[in-house]
Chain A
Amino acid sequence: GENVEQHPSTLSVQEGDSAVIKCTYSDSASNYFPWYKQELGKRPQLIIDIRSNVGEKKDQRIAVTLNKTAKHFSLHITETQPEDSAVYFCAASRSSSNTGKLIFGQGTTLQVKP
């Protein structure tokens, strides 16, 4: 079945350093890959997404890259700040059909040390 693997499960960086989170997916028909940020006790919120017709997308300090051949995609956060500390989830869906269901990775707890 569909599966999304996410690594690492925890990541600790110094403020100002970069953080990279990687995900792999099993369904080769997946073509939509969003990333969500969840702060403690709050809802997951969409921070960036990428569709399979592009290889990279950037929004200020965050960027996502996609390698469809290898079936993996990554989140890059540059110049990390303490407020970036949260759990980050990747997800994948096959949006070419009526289904829009997202399959989530297990999450990465990012800690940015001041």
Chain B
Amino acid sequence: DAGVIQSPRHEVTEMGQEVTLRCKPISGHDYLFWYRQTMMRGLELLIYFNNNVPIDDSGMPEDRFSAKMPNASFSTLKIQPSEPRDSAVYFCASSPGRWGYTFGSGTRLTVV
């Protein structure tokens, strides 16, 4: 298995632009998580899905952020419009159940 695959690895965009981050979880994993990592706030859980259904989105910072999981093998995290304070590394992780997270390589987002 190739593990959790995220794209792009790096994204530089201008303030106000729409940004879409993508994630392919490990096949057979029922849980998918989106985390944001910054020096100031560490690893923050944004949202997670179970069997493609969003379970807890209480960590999503504001309405500019949205996430979807149209099927078991694909999820997106969208920021529209983007702001400089959104600059961070965004990690996707998947899990077969209640434990055993595997993280993707992350997307480093820079908003200028």
**Chain A residues in contact with chain B, CB under 8 A?**
32, 34, 42-46, 49, 51, 89, 93, 95, 98-107
Q: Is B43 within 8 A of A104, CB to CB?
A: yes
Q: At the interface, yes or no: B100 with Cβ under 8 Å from chain A?
A: yes
Q: At the interface, yes or no: B45 with Cβ under 8 Å from chain A?
A: yes
Instruction: Given A49-B99, A95-B98, A101-B48, answer yes or no on A43-B42 (Cβ-Cβ < 8 Å).
Output: no
Question: What is the interface size of chain B, counting residues whose CB is below 8 A from a CB of the partner?
Answer: 21
Nearest CB of A to B55, in Å:
7
Chain A interface mostly helix, strand, loop or mixed?
loop
Tally of A-B residue pairs with Cβ under 8 A?
Answer: 51
Q: Is A102 within 8 A of B101, CB to CB?
A: yes
Instruction: Given A89-B43, A100-B31, A106-B42, answer yes or no on A34-B55 (Cβ-Cβ < 8 Å).
Output: no
Instruction: Given A43-B91, A44-B91, A99-B56, answer yes or no on A32-B42 (Cβ-Cβ < 8 Å).
Output: no
Q: Is B33 within 8 A of A101, CB to CB?
A: yes
A residues less than 8 Å from B48 (CB atoms): 100-101
Instruction: Given A34-B101, A43-B105, A49-B99, answer yes or no on A98-B45 (Cβ-Cβ < 8 Å).
Output: no
